[in-house]
């Protein structure tokens, strides 16, 4: 499948011919994104390069407005790029390409928890008995079994986000894309769901690309952290996170975690200053 806009081209390649291939799950080469505005052209992404391995968790951090979410939307197929090449390897053509979890919950207020979680399966034509069983499994895994018949208006913010995460996992896509999924939650709920995500990812082995503003969250969750420059967004550096798995909130109390978080802030600090209009010493 090929998508093009403003003269640039992004290719999404489905390659199920060699499931044991060591090629990356995601490969971005020179991906760019331009917007036409009343004030002229705005470059959101410029020459963005990234590889994500099968089963890897990659977090993307950067200043506000640097293009993090723009790249995720392009990767999800929700937006087009102006140039570059983006390849997504699919090992199983029977599975969806990706599932997305947004910050704003994005669940249907007129559907119950059970109906929301099963919605993607219904759209895929999965038989009712199978999709109900799958939905029940993931609702239980995220701790909402008692609320399967409840509507979103009856749920807290953290519970709504559990529904969104359960729906994405039930959809069983090759690639899980998460855009600030915990950003709107209170601190205690965010910590709880961070541990929940660590557990679920260890069970599923999903490939995850996760956008966040939280440096500690990135270090806790990721195998690698991509640091983006201020606008226009490029990859400034990529930080390996060699902390052993399984991890938990207790991991954040270790000297190794503190050192990695400090290293991440050191890489990001100048970009935040530039984004806020401060002069950065040469």
Mean predicted confidence (pLDDT) in 10-29: 67
Summarised one tens digit per residue, pLDDT across range 93-130 is 888 889 999 887 789 999 999 999 999 999 989 999 99
Q: How far apart are alpha carbons 33 and 46 in whole angstroms?
A: 7
Residue given tokens 């760019």 in the structure block: 32
Min mean pLDDT across 27-31, 77-81, 110-114, 263-267 is at 77-81
Euclidean distance between CA atoms 48 and 74, whole angstroms: 12
More confident residue, 13 or 88: 88
CA atoms within a 13 Å half-sphere pointing along the CA-CB vector of 128: 1
Mean pLDDT of 67-73: 93
* pLDDT of amino acid 5: 33
Query: pLDDT digits over 127-171, tens only?
Result: 999 999 999 999 998 999 999 999 999 999 889 999 999 999 999
The average pLDDT across 249-261 equals: 96
The encoded tokens of residue 63 equal: 């200043």
**Span of 11-15, 27-31, 46-50, 197-201 with lowest mean pLDDT:** 11-15
pLDDT per residue as tens digits for the range 192-204: 889 999 998 988 8
H-state helical runs in the chain: 68-76, 113-123, 128-141, 157-171, 187-204, 215-221, 255-275
Residues forming beta bridges with residue 57, ordered by sequence position: 208
pLDDT tier, 38 (very low <50, low <70, confident <90, very high otherwise): confident
Which residues are CB-contacts of 3 (< 8 A; sequence separation ≥ 6)?
A: 9, 10, 12, 77, 80, 81
Q: What is the mean pLDDT of the chain?
A: 88
- pLDDT of 210 strictly over 70: yes
Of 34-48, 54-68, 251-265, least confident by mean pLDDT is 34-48
Residue 2 has pLDDT above 70, yes or no: no
Give per-residue pLDDT as tens, 171-196: 988 899 999 998 888 888 889 889 99
pLDDT of residue 13: 56
Its sign, for the CA torsion 6, 8, 14, 19, is negative
Q: Name the CATH superfamily, with its identifier, for domain 2-97+173-275.
A: P-loop containing nucleotide triphosphate hydrolases (3.40.50.300)
Q: What are phi and psi of 63, to 5 degrees?
A: -65, 160
* Rounded-to-integer distance, Cα 224 and Cα 213, Å: 15
What are the b/e assignments for 84-122, b being 16+ CB within 10 Å? bbbbbbbbeeebbbbbbbbbebbbeeeebbbbbbbbbbe
pLDDT digits (tens, 9 = 90+) for 218-230: 999 999 999 999 9
Exposed/middle/buried for residue 82 (C-beta within 10 Å: 0-12, 13-18, 19+): buried
Return the pLDDT at 152. Answer: 95
Rounded mean pLDDT of 43-57?
Answer: 94
**How distant, in Å, are the alpha carbons of 81, 90, 182 from that of 32?**
6, 23, 27
């Amino acid at each position: 499948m090929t998508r093009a806009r403003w003269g640039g081209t992004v290719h999404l390649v489905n390659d199920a011919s060699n499931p044991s291939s060591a090629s990356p799950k995601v490969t971005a080469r020179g991906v760019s994104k331009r917007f036409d505005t009343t004030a002229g052209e705005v470059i959101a992404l410029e020459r963005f390069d990234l590889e994500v391995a099968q089963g890897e968790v990659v977090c993307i951090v950067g200043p506000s407005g640097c293009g993090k979410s723009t790249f995720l939307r392009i990767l999800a197929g929700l937006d087009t790029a102006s140039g570059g090449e983006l390849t997504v390897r699919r090992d199983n053509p029977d599975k969806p390409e990706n599932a997305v979890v947004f910050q704003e919950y994005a669940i249907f207020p007129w559907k119950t928890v059970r109906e929301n979680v099963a919605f993607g399966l219904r759209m895929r034509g999965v038989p009712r008995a199978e999709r109900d069983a799958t939905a029940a499994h993931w609702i239980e895994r995220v701790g909402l079994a008692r609320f399967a018949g409840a509507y979103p208006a009856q749920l807290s913010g953290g519970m709504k986000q559990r529904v969104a995460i359960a729906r994405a996992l039930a959809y069983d896509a090759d690639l899980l894309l998460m855009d600030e999924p915990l950003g709107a939650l209170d601190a205690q709920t965010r910590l709880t769901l961070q541990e929940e995500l660590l557990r679920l990812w260890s069970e599923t082995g999903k490939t995850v690309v996760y956008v966040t503003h939280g440096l500690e969250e990135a270090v806790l969750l990721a195998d690698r952290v991509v640091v983006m420059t201020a606008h226009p967004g490029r990859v400034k550096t990529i930080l390996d996170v060699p902390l052993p798995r399984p991890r938990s909130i207790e991991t954040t109390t270790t000297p190794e975690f503190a050192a990695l978080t400090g290293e991440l802030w050191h890489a990001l600090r100048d970009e935040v200053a530039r984004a806020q209009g401060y002069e950065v010493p040469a």
